[in-house]
Structure 1
Amino acid sequence: MMLPFEKTEYQERVEKVKLSMEEQGIEVLLITDPANMNYVSGYDAMSYYTPQGVIVATELDEPLCIVRFQDLFCATETTWMRKENVIAYPDKFLWEPKKLHVMDFIGDILKEKRLNSKRIGLEFDAYFFTVHWYKSLERCLPDSVFVDATSLVNWIRGQKSPREIEYMQIASRIAEKTLYNAIEKVGIGVRESHVAAGIYSDLVEGTGVYGGEYPSLAPITPAGERTAGAHFSWTTEGKYQDGQLIYMELSGSYKRYHAPLTRTIFVGQPPNTVRETAKIVIEGLNVALSTIKPGVSCEEVEKAWQTTINNYGLNKESRMGYTVGLSYPPVWTENTAYFKPGEKTILKPNMTFHMMPGMWLDGYGVAITESLRVTENGCETITKFPKELFVK
């Protein structure tokens, strides 16, 4: 199997991780976030519902990838390391986890490699790292010191390589085609589930050249009053009606890289409140985009947006953007920098964000978003789609 990146790029990533570990006094890092595992090792399989991990140690020249024996072939096919550094555990470690757990297996490997009496970084707040896992490690590694390394790899992922940007651009083309077809399907009497099925089909079908993958988050497609909620999907029996508002948030996925995109649609003649809200959102979006350049802080971008909508009597309490790129379910955010008040992170070239200037108001919501890349002198949108309220 051809890897999505050159071996040298993976090796450079590992060196960056080790440098960050040294700066934080961490000798061993156990990575359990599947996106972070992929970033350093290339491992790519739908196995994240069982315990697994990648070990990076300053004393080891290559990471160790620990997976379920049933997933060994997946790991040897998708990782760049030597085969002896891909280690599989048998299913007995899953049968009675309160007695024998996968973390016991990982603990034994650390002992075997003489990495147990070390400062070990753990991703405390990763989606797939549980309290039970932590307690198991404490029990089997009593001489270790555990420290929180939740976002260590996430932050390294922030500035994208040219190949990563290329994959996000392909994901964008998939998202654009999908959204265009979804808007075309909307009409009075059309079932919401019919449009949702088309979205899934187009996301997987991809473009004429590139196929797509399953996204890290299901498409968000509320209609009517449900647009006042930020994270509704379609209804199973609902049909689009005249005078109904809809917004669709979705992302293409290519080599696990995402580029989310959102647009709002109105069936029939939009009321002035919806038209005006859309105009305000678009103006605020454009002002925020024009603010972005290297050296600017994330809070300055959010302030530009907030100041613009405040002029019209609106206020957005939630963050209006976040880092995005490589991801697995349940989300496509990288969980690092955000466009929000107090966020001091300084923008650098090739950082990538999903700018999410949505307004969820009393009885309705309007969202028009873009995925973007910070350039040397400003920013460019990775997604290319008309910024407007679509009327059907």
Structure 2
Amino acid sequence: MDYTAYRQILAETQALSELPFNDDEYEARLSRVRAAMQHWELDALLLTDPADINYLTGYHTFEVSVHACLVCTAERLVLQVASIETGAAVVTARADEILGYRWENPDEVIAPLCDLLMPCAAVGIDGWHAGLRHGVMAALAARLGSARFQEAGALLDGVRIVKSDAELACLRESARITSAGLEAAMAVIRPGVTDNEVAAEGARALLAAGSEFMSLQPIVTSGERIGVIHVNHKRRVIAAGDPVFLEFGAAYQRYTAPMMRTAVAGRASTEMQAVADLCHELYEVLCRHMQPGDSFDAAAQAAEAVLSPWQARLFHSGVFGYAVGAQFPPSWVEGSGYIARGQARQFEVGMVFHLPLCLRLPGQWGVGLSDTVMVTERGGVALTDNDWRLHELPV
């Protein structure tokens, strides 16, 4: 059976059976995007971010390493995927047409895209996303001319950053599953256990509670390794008195609401507790400043003022929050907005951010606590359920 026959059988038996949302949800999204295209004076969008494609069509697969794209015009949505992914496309995606190309022959990508884009004088692209492959872009520019392609990554970011009720429901379900995973992982922390064992128990609980494949694996580090940002479990044995940092994010319909917690295998030092209290103070300040009409920059500067007395001693990334929503590996960061100095965008009701408040004492330890927070008329309100305690676990 070749891939066209395989695709046809699925189209006849399981078409759209795994579409995450109803037609009204997708029509509303498409209307907002097309209105933005008109404002930007674009005839088409060439979307290559798996999350952008998912947002407009529902398309999802764990194979996001191969080329896929969506051409969106005022009249049509055309999805192009590798031949082996056409089955997933007919089962999960709402599109006017699905084009396949042989996985082993990427040269088949270009000609159909040229045919689609030839009538379009202005085509928006996201030149900063890794999904837009240099070879594809170079070939399109060579055949169609580079002048018609315009940077438009901010267009879809501006639509996606405000979540619908259906999206918020998915984020709340992710938050529930994330919490279950963290609780299970914390229950096995004790001296003599490895960070891998803690991560394994957390992963088991996340999957058992309903998580799909995650955009990021569970993150577990302990002791001095917490002081290094973005390392993960590596068979380290937890010692008495070690802090253990956990950051989990379950995926539900691809939506992720991450959360950080820190536990101590024994008694926390006075300084560890002080840093945990500082994380909580930062969180409260940020939530107060996440008011509609206030800027991301103003919230970041308010947090920086709280952090200032510790700045010479503790490392923080400088990003106090990032937007989350539907994502795919290798990250759950949506990329549509950051609470950081210099970010002039204003908060709107329905935006959702993870506030990653991890403070690191390089070479010694770190403490991380966080919630995923929704912007409301009264400020930031948590979707996750962190208790903002530095948990001291019996040894």
Using the size of structure 2 for normalisation, the TM-score is 0.90
Distance in 1 (CA, whole Å) between partners of 2:23 and 2:142 is 36
Asked whether 1:163 is paired with 2:166, we answer: yes
Identity of paired residues, percent? 25
- Displacement of 1:101: 5.2
* CA offsets 1:29-52 (integer angstroms, 9 cap, x no match): 110000000000111112321111
- Displacement of 1:144: 5.9
Q: Which secondary structure does the structure 2 equivalent of 1:64 belong to? A: strand
- The one-letter code of the counterpart of 1:86 is I
Q: 1:26 to 1:109 in 2, by over 3 A?
A: closer
Q: Which secondary structure does the structure 2 equivalent of 1:193 belong to? A: helix
Asked whether 1:270 is paired with 2:268, we answer: yes
Distance in 2 (CA, whole Å) between partners of 1:159 and 1:122 is 21
Kept after mapping to 2: 8 A contact 1:353/1:371: yes
- Displacement of 1:25: 2.2
Aligned position for 2:224: 225
* CA offsets 1:112-133 (integer angstroms, 9 cap, x no match): xx34xx2111111112212222
Aligned position for 1:294: 292
Aligned position for 1:90: 102
Aligned position for 1:41: 57
Distance in 2 (CA, whole Å) between partners of 1:228 and 1:27 is 48
* CA offsets 1:73-132 (integer angstroms, 9 cap, x no match): 1111111234xx1221234533xxxxx252343223434xx34xx211111111221222
Aligned position for 2:214: 215
Q: 1:144 to 1:380 in 2, by over 3 A?
A: same
Q: Which secondary structure does the structure 1 equivalent of 2:245 belong to? A: strand
Distance in 1 (CA, whole Å) between partners of 2:108 and 2:94 is 27
Distance in 2 (CA, whole Å) between partners of 1:139 and 1:6 is 39
Q: Which secondary structure does the structure 2 equivalent of 1:198 belong to? A: helix
Distance in 2 (CA, whole Å) between partners of 1:109 and 1:90 is 18
Kept after mapping to 1: 8 A contact 2:102/2:108: no
- The one-letter code of the counterpart of 2:100 is A
- The one-letter code of the counterpart of 2:80 is I
Kept after mapping to 2: 8 A contact 1:281/1:309: no
Q: 1:250 to 1:19 in 2, by over 3 A?
A: same
* CA offsets 1:184-242 (integer angstroms, 9 cap, x no match): 11111112211111222122222xxxx2112111222111111001211101x322111
- Displacement of 1:377: 2.4
- Displacement of 1:278: 1.1
Aligned position for 1:107: 114
Asked whether 1:31 is paired with 2:47, we answer: yes
Equivalences for 1:185-200 in 2 at 5 Å? Answer: 185-200=188-203
* CA offsets 1:343-362 (integer angstroms, 9 cap, x no match): 11111111000011221223
Aligned position for 1:136: 139
Asked whether 1:378 is paired with 2:376, we answer: no
- Displacement of 1:391: 1.2
Distance in 2 (CA, whole Å) between partners of 1:380 and 1:267 is 30
Gaps of 5+ in 2: 1-16
Asked whether 1:71 is paired with 2:85, we answer: yes
Q: 1:180 to 1:18 in 2, by over 3 A?
A: same
Kept after mapping to 1: 8 A contact 2:351/2:375: yes
- Bigger shift: residues 340-349 or 254-263: 340-349
Asked whether 1:20 is paired with 2:36, we answer: yes
* CA offsets 1:145-183 (integer angstroms, 9 cap, x no match): 111122321221111111100000000000001001101
- The one-letter code of the counterpart of 1:188 is P
- Bigger shift: residues 245-254 or 304-313: 304-313
Q: 1:313 to 1:34 in 2, by over 3 A?
A: closer
* Alpha-carbon RMSD: 1.8
Using the size of structure 1 for normalisation, the TM-score is 0.91
